[in-house]
Structure 1
Amino acid sequence: MAAPALKTLLLLGFCQFWLHGADAICGYESCNKEKPGMLNVHLVAHTHNDPGWLVTVDQYYYRQVQFILDTVIKELEDDPNKRFTYVEMAFFTRWWKQQDKAMKDRVRGLVNQGRLEFTLGGWVMNDEAATHYSAIIDQHKLGFEFLRHNFGLCGRTKIGWQIDPFGHSREQASLTAQFGFDGLFFGRLDSQDKEKRQKTQTMEMVWQGSPQNLGSSSDLFTGVLPNGYDYPSGFHFDVWNIYQQNNNQRFIHDDPSLQDYNVDEMVDKFIVAMKEYQSWYGTNHVIATMGSDFNYVDAHLNLKNIDKLIRHVNARQKSGSKINLLYSTPSCYLKSVHDDNKNWTTKSDDFFPYANRPHTYWSGYFTSRPGQKRYTRQLNGFLQSAKQLATLGHVDNSKGGLDNIQKLAASVALGQHHDAVTGTEKQVVAYDYIQRMSKGWAAAQETVNEAYSNLMSKGKERSVHQVFCDYRNVSLCSVTQLAKNFEVTMFNPLTRAVTYTARVPVDGDQYNVLKEDGHTMVHSDLFTVMAAPSGIRPKGRKPAARELVFNALLPPLGYATYFVRAETLLRWRPNPRNERDERTIRGKYVEVDFDSNGYVRRLTNLVTNVSVPLTQNLFYYKAYAGNNTRPEFQSSGAYIFRPRDNTPVKIKITKWEGIVKGSAVQEARQRFSDWASQVVRVYKDKPYVEFEWTVGPIPAEGGGKEIITRYNIPGWGNKGVFHTDSNGREILQRQLNYRPTWQAKIDEPVAGNYFPVDSHINIKSGDSKYQLTVLVDRAEGGSSLNDGDVELMLHRRLLVDDYFGVGQALNEPGLDGKGLIVRGSHYVLLDTVENAARQFRPLAQEIFLSGQPSFSESQLAPQEYVQKVNTKYSGLLERLPEQVHLLTLEQFLVDGPVASPGGTTPYLVRFEHIYEAKEDARLSVPVTFDIEHLFEGLFFVDATELVLGANAALTDIHRLQWNKRDSSHATPTQMPTALNGRKVTLKPMQIVTLQVNFEVL
């Protein structure tokens, strides 16, 4: 070992010793001891702190969270027996920054002794229905990094704690296992499912997160908490109880000389409750959560009552009681259950949709606030590109470039919170989330400009400043509208070349487009912008009259600059013509026919000669407006989807605006009403049809409206069977009115059959030969309610609150106060089942990581620009297998989890296999590739395989193993290694996380 590397290791070792202290006994060794032969009740003192919901994240912090942490720390220091669990790093990091060194050392001492335990450890407790898997990984990594740098090994979390999200995805379980966690606890599941599990003592199970791909390494012990995440009924000891004046919740009065003495009553009641808990779980250990939303503002009041409860319940042991109470944590409870060596049932599906009572399906939030959902997804995609560009452009932190990316990462992470991306927050809080992401986006744009400057510059010449047009999707961009001559630079974050169709807002009527060489002409078209309601754009901003459309070939992991010039001397192609009598749009791969009224009537795949009578229409459900006093009066709201009638109302086309044919794209324009329109596009070289819909402002009538689109193939024969993705990765089969693990009674035939769609939904023909796939650009709710149907919800406007805490109807005002207008796209593929995955998997990546365009106005002639600026660049030196996706490429901000040799910089690199086993005959196989000579300007030194959360070496993670009833022995849960020296081998759906140490050339 070289001397600098040895010095680094010694320094790292000293830092770890300082972080832990000589007497560090965190983890399972720090648990309070149980009493053998008794029912041991693990009291988990915790607080659930939403980073925004009814008020903003800042307001919650200043009103409550800072006082929670202040008072909890004091109580823990006063009594070594006490334990406390904290979760949300978005809040804890704020509090930590305000503490002095002495306080930080005191907190480290509590963590090192296992008295303050961090559970989950993510930036937020993310939603599981509307989140993309890359965002789930990133938001956890952000929290894990904070804990690693400040608390070392004792800050490494072991337990997933998804106590409040409104349903749970299988991919979340798989990712949690890949984080190296030993278990997961959550609070919400369908009331029918919970009732069955209580009766059969299956509230705890082994959840198989990826049974067909990752196997037992993705198994995760999962427990349903007995009372959501709240106190046992009648034992809410928080100060909030005083303000609520809730007579059902009482404090313990243990002075027998006083009138309100109630010890015997309280002890009896608690023992009865714990025996009931035991009847649901069937072991000698039960968990009782002692906390709720923003509890422990006055930790002394809370914990003093818990002390009394422990003392008086345990005193009964002298009289023969077999109940023992102890302060505990989720990990300590988990370890006790594990040590019983019990055989557990398994589950391999998910927990969607969730209904907490009859007529109350939480499937509305799959679509709520669709604009916010799109913005969150869009910025997540930009974040991945920004991290890649900062790496390839050798951006360091001397100008705060990496800090800027952290700002965007933190705002996008906040956006994954289960009251953010879900759309279940108050309107003012939604504005706050958007503002934070906007500021993060602006900061990251500065770093992207710095990266471009380094990559584009030739010699001493500096590149031209790039401008990012935030409103390009509504035909607004000041640079391209005002300048006659400008450049378009597009970055491709994928590791394969892609053809990106640029759509640029312009006001001129004659342009030429040149490739990156500055002289080769590119076919381009000028399309007239279809009229849209004025409220779709900011006040005072005039939309472009036209869109300039052209195809750009982008290199892998790189960019290309195209020149747009309003010059009449160059060869000019005539603009597309509007053809009202034409009824067909056609490309190289696909054709769409329309009937005489303008409705879609047939879709044809020109390559495989598959042709079906496809129809597509917009509809709306009338929302049920009840008073919420009983289940049958449940309203549709931000959380809940409940249509008044199960048959939606068709929105008829009021105007057929004809077909426009260009060289790159052909499109048909439909107007359904003054608040709903659509453009159907077929691209010359793309295998899909794009349906771009614009909906809003939805008329405010009755209880509100919920707008859907339906694609239908008559006689398709799927018979209620369809498939949806899980957070954009693995695919789950769905079936109408059916749940795989319990006999469901579906009392809402529409809402009870809606499932989250993050990436795509598909139906297969009855003979299993063909597949119709619809991909989405944001999370939406969807189903297949009738034979041949694919139904997706686009937008919702509701006038009655559903009474689950928000206290506000989902009635977004939009830019002009008249109602929100939303624009989005679906991408429809028709192909053989054999070819389907090969089509939609790459397309899903292109939708999420689309070419990131920016614009400049250089005033240089193209040939002069080419001489001074690098107009084309690829950061990939060797081609990766087509099954492999570069999921992450970024520099560690400070250091990596393992020591780096001197002179190197640690980078976080993730690769993933994007196909499932047996999904594609050619591509669903293991692949091996070399990572030594992969990235331009980065010289490979060495690599270490990490756990998915990038906070530890994979070899340092040893997960607990669990016995399954359907297996004769405990199956291994260790994640398989993928790295062998400088080569990586990936199996289907496997992600490898690496710390790669590079010398920057």
Structure 2
Amino acid sequence: MSAAAVSAMGAVAVFLLFCAPVLGFPAGYFSDDSASCGYKSCPATQPSMLNVHLVPHTHDDVGWLKTVDQYYYGDRNNIQHAGVQYILDSVVEQLQLDPARRFIYVETGFFYRWWKQQNSATQRVVTQLVNEGRLEFINGGWCMSDEATTHYSAVIDQMTLGLRFLNDTFGACGRPRVAWHIDPFGHAREHASLFAQMGYDGLFFGRLDYQDKARRIKDKDMEMVWRASASLRPPAADLFTGVLPNGYNPPPGFCWDQLCNDPPIRDDPDLEDYNVDSVVKNFLEIANNQALMYKTNHIIMTMGSDFQYENANMWYKNLDKLIRYVNAQQSKGSRVNLLYSTPSCYLQELHRANLSWSVKTDDFFPYADGPHNFWTGYFTSRPALKRYERLTNSLLQVCNQLEVLGGPQSRRGPHGEGDSNTLKRAMAVAQHHDAVSGTEKQHVANDYAKRLATGWAHCEPLVSNALTTLSGSENQQTYCLNLNISVCPVSEGQDEFSLTVYNPLSRSVSWAVRLPVNGSRYSVSDPSGRAVECQVIPVSKETRRIREDKGYAVNELVFQVEAPPVGFRTYGISLVPNSPAPAGPSPVAPPFIENQYLRVTFDPETGLVSSLTNLETKQKVQLKQNFYWYNASVGNSDSSQPSGAYIFRPNSSTLLPVNSAAKIQAVQNSVVQEVQQQFSPWVSQVVRLYRDSRHLELEWTVGPIPVGDFSGKEVITRLDTTISSSGLFYTDSNGREMLERLKDYRPTWDLKQSEPVAGNYYPINSRIYIKDKENQLTVVTDRSQGASSLQAGSLEIMLHRRLLRDDWRGVGEPLSEPGDNNEGLVVRGRLLLHLTPPATAADAHRPLSEETVMQPLLALQAAQLHPNTQLEFSGLQAALPPAVHLLTMSQWDQDSVLLRLEHQFEAKESETHSQPVTVNLQKLFSTLEVVGVSEMNLAANQWKDDMARFDWKTSTGEQPLPRPPTDPSPWEVTLKPMEIRTFLLRTQRK
């Protein structure tokens, strides 16, 4: 190539041309030009016939009734007969017998285990099957994630993990073309947006509301274009989406697995039970009826179900016969053509049809499979696991970042050998639609939590090694993950110790720290030796009750810390001896608590919050907050459906208050003011306001929920305000864009409401708000929960559930978590309240929700620090602009880093921040020099410039918009509202 040609290409392309092999990408890693996989491998169809695409598949839950290990090995078949390793063994054997046969596989987490156990001969066979398109990977994430209770950052991570393994193993032929979410219980708009940005051409799913499905069948609207972002320019977040006709099961009468009871095809005419004629007649009737629901002369049939194909011969032998005998009818005038196919081949035929499709802009929540069967309980089920998953997500991001910043020494250093992969895989498993959703058996939930704990145990030495490398101190680090119940051995037992605060965000944060201590007075100093104001307050009676004998601190040390972007700051803490004990809490409720930003008033008779005032903007709303429960239905004259792990069904719309008043204790000092409210022996709360905080914190504690009255309970908190919300409220979609909700309303069909409470519940991952022209009240949550607004000016959030009946959706046991003493689970969490004018609300709640998801890591050291210890460090040269979030910073291989930058504001959401922002990648890191950059799709399994998706015509008639202007230079990248950009950086240490 001539020098002129190189000059014309630009730096990014040059890097890609000369450095991609160095990054470890083999030839054909992203290009399938030399293979016959993908769309090239699709079988021929008959243009003048009804083509029935038979898709052999298995749906393998990554844990549900059994643990992920038990499912893989086929253990504990007394619970459920399922063994994934045997499914893959059997399918590979059967695919080799006939080149026409096809099979799709979805859950990469299972396939990864199986692949590692195969010999080289089997791996060569499988590779050939993949290269020929006979074994096709669909979806390709580590699991099939839930869509209601997952945060977008964790979804991206688990998809990247699975897709990278497929690329590393099979090259471009391992890259899925279709997203396949056949089992999640409702579908989020943000998931569709992510799939589109990952390069998928389409999405198929099985579950949608029964009323929605009936309307779509009537209107032949079972397939559509989902416009999944109100901010990204079409078609960036447009995704063709299809609803499967039978969920993900075969048509009735055509299930031929060893788990099925349908009769096989008996095709010996000399035997009395010959049934070919009846089977063919039945199938043709089903196929023609299904065709009435869809627009083209192509239909899809899912031939498989949960953990099927363990004996694949049974399926394929009957499918071979079905294809042969049905197609034989063509000589008698039949216009039905059967073929082995895959979802991507079916999608290709829909694209070739060149039709116009309807456009959907909302989501598919809530999901109901009958008038009284709303799957809205799992939005909250197992709230402790939901919180632990969210906390672990934050720990994983810290682990990933410090692995980059600490370099090779972080993996093998003075604190032992560490790795991030174990936690990556554990977090990926936790995204499964029967994991963080809370819809698994109790022993499986325990296993998910254990996996997360094991993953963090592998990350701990990595984090310690990195902090040692960056600070120069080899002291042992201790990470106290039970501070919410005031437990930390180092601070409880040491008179002198240090605290390192690592901040994973790309901007500085100020954070309130509460450490359990046994002294009465302490001094705290920052890296410059300046004193930090601190206070000691007694550990509350409620916290002592919860922690029992897990800790013994009598007090808490409270102070405010600051940490630089993607970096740490270390504070010294020393006991001041011979100090008097701190004053105990006052039994008298104060009329109000306030700082320079907020004032919170309390009703003198009930002790409840009565108003909230933003002192900066002079806004004031009346606000009453209390705790209530719905009695869980066990069935009534309308329906026998009970409430359970999946289903939320109260026995009436009547809320029962835990108490109309609260017993009060108050703590007020220069750092924090809090009113401790006791509503009952099993419900309490702390209303807390830190000195410099612009939000109000409500720390709730619920449990053990009493069920001695033989009534399951769904516990909520409700905030009643004077905001004129007119029945409108707003919820986030997987933590990103906001969606408008209206009570008893669905945008795409006329709803006949049968459950006025459960039918109006929606998932929230990070926030919910109501507003009028003057005021917006935003509630930021610390985990995924179910929420609604059933009255104007009111918000209710479900906190905890304890139920006595199974809801008949397969889990087979009531949702009654035992807790430590088998008396019921106690759960503690936080709600953060923000009162602002609507025009500036996003400027506050976007960064607040980001801080809640990506929390600072606290590392304590009992020994004295070496004098040369570096007490402050930032991995960035400067903080990123407020609109930009550092979503991913992870070691890809020895010399390259995976980086995702995100514009975290929606278009028109903020006058200040909803503008394009440019970041210079060469000026990003303080200790790393970026010497090469190449942009990838969101999943990091394809070069961005090579990502060419199907274009779809829509009923709105608009044409795809041209690509927006390019970046100012190869190193300067511009982010537009809601845009996530993914880069592979080649780096070297400065």
Same fold (TM over 0.5): yes
Correspondence for 1:643: 650
Match of residue 364, structure 1, among 377, 385, 392: 377
Trace 1:251-290 onto structure 2 (pairs within 5 A): 251-290=264-303
Trace 1:136-535 onto structure 2 (pairs within 5 A): 136-241=155-260, 246=261, 249-395=262-408, 399=412, 404-457=419-472, 462-517=473-528, 519-532=529-542
Shift in alpha-carbon separation, 1:543–1:186, aligned structure 2, 3 A: farther
Structure 1 position 728 matched with structure 2 position 735: yes
Correspondence for 2:572: 563
CA distance in 2, matches of 1:987, 1:694: 40
Correspondence for 1:784: 789
In the TM superposition, what whole-angstrom CA distance separates every residue of 1:808-865 from its partner, at most 9, and x where no partner exists? 000000011000000000000111111211110010111111211111101x2xxxx3
Cα deviation for residue 541 of structure 1 reads 2.0
Shift in alpha-carbon separation, 1:500–1:5, aligned structure 2, 3 A: closer
Answer whether contact 2:86 2:310 (CA < 8 A) is retained.
Answer: yes
Cα deviation for residue 631 of structure 1 reads 7.0
Cα deviation for residue 975 of structure 1 reads 9.1
Shift in alpha-carbon separation, 1:775–1:976, aligned structure 2, 3 A: farther
Correspondence for 2:913: 923
Correspondence for 2:981: 992
In the TM superposition, what whole-angstrom CA distance separates every residue of 1:227-260 from its partner, at most 9, and x where no partner exists? 000011110111111xxxx3xx221111111121
CA distance in 2, matches of 1:836, 1:230: 45
Cα deviation for residue 86 of structure 1 reads 0.0
Residue aligned with 1:171, SS: helix
Residue aligned with 1:216, SS: coil
Trace 1:597-996 onto structure 2 (pairs within 5 A): 597-626=606-635, 632-652=639-659, 655-700=662-707, 701-714=709-722, 716-765=723-772, 768-858=773-863, 860=864, 865=865, 867-893=867-893, 905-969=895-959, 971=960, 980-996=969-985
* Aligned residue type for 1:754: Y
Match of residue 589, structure 1, among 592, 597, 600: 597
CA distance in 1, matches of 2:739, 2:883: 20
Residue aligned with 1:289, SS: strand
* Aligned residue type for 1:287: I
Cα deviation for residue 14 of structure 1 reads 9.6
In the TM superposition, what whole-angstrom CA distance separates every residue of 1:101-136 from its partner, at most 9, and x where no partner exists? 111111111100000000000000000000000001
CA distance in 2, matches of 1:984, 1:657: 53
In the TM superposition, what whole-angstrom CA distance separates every residue of 1:363-405 from its partner, at most 9, and x where no partner exists? 0000000000000011001111111111111136863999721
Cα deviation for residue 216 of structure 1 reads 2.1
In the TM superposition, what whole-angstrom CA distance separates every residue of 1:904-937 from its partner, at most 9, and x where no partner exists? x111001011111111111111111211121121
Correspondence for 1:120: 139
Cα deviation for residue 508 of structure 1 reads 1.8
Residue aligned with 2:101, SS: coil
Correspondence for 1:62: 73
Answer whether contact 2:486 2:543 (CA < 8 A) is retained.
Answer: no
* Aligned residue type for 1:878: A
Shift in alpha-carbon separation, 1:743–1:541, aligned structure 2, 3 A: same
Residue aligned with 2:443, SS: helix
* Aligned residue type for 1:663: S
Cα deviation for residue 646 of structure 1 reads 0.4
Residue aligned with 2:159, SS: helix
Shift in alpha-carbon separation, 1:694–1:221, aligned structure 2, 3 A: same
CA distance in 1, matches of 2:518, 2:969: 56
Answer whether contact 1:829 1:840 (CA < 8 A) is retained.
Answer: yes
Cα deviation for residue 12 of structure 1 reads 8.5
* Aligned residue type for 2:763: P
CA distance in 2, matches of 1:791, 1:5: 51
Cα deviation for residue 878 of structure 1 reads 2.6
Moved more, 95-104 or 726-735: 95-104
Answer whether contact 1:584 1:593 (CA < 8 A) is retained.
Answer: yes
- Structure 1: tracts of 5 or more residues without a match: 895-904
Answer whether contact 2:372 2:755 (CA < 8 A) is retained.
Answer: yes
Answer whether contact 1:585 1:659 (CA < 8 A) is retained.
Answer: no
Q: CA RMSD in A?
A: 2.2
Answer whether contact 2:233 2:961 (CA < 8 A) is retained.
Answer: no
CA distance in 2, matches of 1:631, 1:730: 37
* Aligned residue type for 1:521: A
Moved more, 22-31 or 432-441: 22-31
Moved more, 603-612 or 927-936: 927-936
CA distance in 2, matches of 1:674, 1:837: 37
Residue aligned with 2:84, SS: helix
In the TM superposition, what whole-angstrom CA distance separates every residue of 1:586-642 from its partner, at most 9, and x where no partner exists? 112111111122111111101001011110000000000139xx9711100000000
Answer whether contact 2:508 2:879 (CA < 8 A) is retained.
Answer: no
Answer whether contact 1:408 1:441 (CA < 8 A) is retained.
Answer: yes
In the TM superposition, what whole-angstrom CA distance separates every residue of 1:474-515 from its partner, at most 9, and x where no partner exists? 111111111111111111111111111101111222211111
Cα deviation for residue 334 of structure 1 reads 0.2
Correspondence for 2:79: none
Answer whether contact 2:197 2:237 (CA < 8 A) is retained.
Answer: yes
Residue aligned with 1:985, SS: strand
Residue aligned with 2:407, SS: coil
Moved more, 648-657 or 865-874: 648-657
CA distance in 2, matches of 1:827, 1:51: 33
Answer whether contact 1:515 1:521 (CA < 8 A) is retained.
Answer: yes
Shift in alpha-carbon separation, 1:972–1:816, aligned structure 2, 3 A: same
In the TM superposition, what whole-angstrom CA distance separates every residue of 1:128-168 from its partner, at most 9, and x where no partner exists? 00000000100000001101110101011111100000000
CA distance in 2, matches of 1:695, 1:683: 23
Q: TM-score scaled by structure 1?
A: 0.94
CA distance in 2, matches of 1:923, 1:573: 48
Shift in alpha-carbon separation, 1:199–1:325, aligned structure 2, 3 A: same
Answer whether contact 1:696 1:822 (CA < 8 A) is retained.
Answer: yes
CA distance in 1, matches of 2:73, 2:985: 40
* Aligned residue type for 1:349: D
Cα deviation for residue 956 of structure 1 reads 1.0
Residue aligned with 2:437, SS: coil
In the TM superposition, what whole-angstrom CA distance separates every residue of 1:66-100 from its partner, at most 9, and x where no partner exists? 00000100111111111100000110000011011
Answer whether contact 2:23 2:893 (CA < 8 A) is retained.
Answer: no
Shift in alpha-carbon separation, 1:20–1:556, aligned structure 2, 3 A: closer
* Aligned residue type for 1:129: A
* Aligned residue type for 2:856: G
Answer whether contact 2:418 2:462 (CA < 8 A) is retained.
Answer: no
CA distance in 1, matches of 2:945, 2:862: 51
* Aligned residue type for 2:389: T
Shift in alpha-carbon separation, 1:877–1:402, aligned structure 2, 3 A: farther
CA distance in 1, matches of 2:453, 2:958: 54
Answer whether contact 2:537 2:555 (CA < 8 A) is retained.
Answer: yes
Answer whether contact 1:402 1:893 (CA < 8 A) is retained.
Answer: no
Cα deviation for residue 10 of structure 1 reads 6.6
Number of equivalent positions: 967
Residue aligned with 1:547, SS: strand
* Aligned residue type for 1:184: L
